[in-house]
């Protein structure tokens, strides 16, 4: 079981989807932080140095969607790994930031968990 000090930041505006993602992260043995917007996520990333993975939805309100947010994470915090999800849109491979992994909703929990564990290794 991975140590709890490995942190995943979940960025999802839908409360039920956010709680499901948090449960997935915690069941995998990682610590989960969660916010409802990319703007709130940036504030956390600016203050926390222990975040290893960002798990973000693409479709979010507030002017900064998940794809733009993921690109910003890649530019400002290059070591952080990215898991990008959506139930509405499937980005082309060239649209994903380097090392970004996409999962279509509803995603398979075991596949996402395996990807998180690989990213944390």
Domain boundaries, the chain: 7-120
pLDDT for the residue 9: 98
Instruction: Return d(Cα 57, Cα 74) in angstroms, integer.
Output: 15
| CATH for the stretch 7-120 | 3.40.50.2300
Please say whether the dihedral angle defined by the alpha carbons of residues 22, 28, 84 and 78, taken in this order, is positive or negative. Answer: positive
pLDDT for the residue 1: 44
Look-up of token digits 């969660």:
34
Cβ proximity of 92 and 47 under 8 Å: no
Cβ proximity of 8 and 52 under 8 Å: yes
pLDDT in tens, 65-118: 999 999 999 999 999 999 999 999 899 999 999 999 999 999 999 999 999 999
Q: Is 69 exposed, middle or buried (0-12, 13-18, 19+ CB in 10 A)?
A: buried
């Amino acid at each position: 079981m991975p140590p709890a000090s490995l942190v995943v930041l979940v960025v999802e505006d839908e409360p039920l989807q956010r709680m499901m993602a948090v449960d997935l992260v915690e069941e995998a043995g990682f610590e989960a932080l969660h916010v409802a917007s990319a703007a709130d996520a940036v504030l956390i990333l600016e203050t926390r140095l222990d975040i290893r993975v960002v798990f973000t939805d693409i479709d979010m309100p507030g002017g900064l969607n998940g794809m733009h947010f993921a690109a910003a994470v890649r530019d400002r915090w290059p070591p952080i790994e990215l898991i990008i999800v959506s139930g509405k849109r499937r980005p082309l491979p060239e649209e994903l930031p380097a090392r970004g992994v996409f999962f279509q909703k509803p995603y398979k929990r075991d596949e996402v968990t395996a990807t998180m564990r690989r990213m944390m290794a």
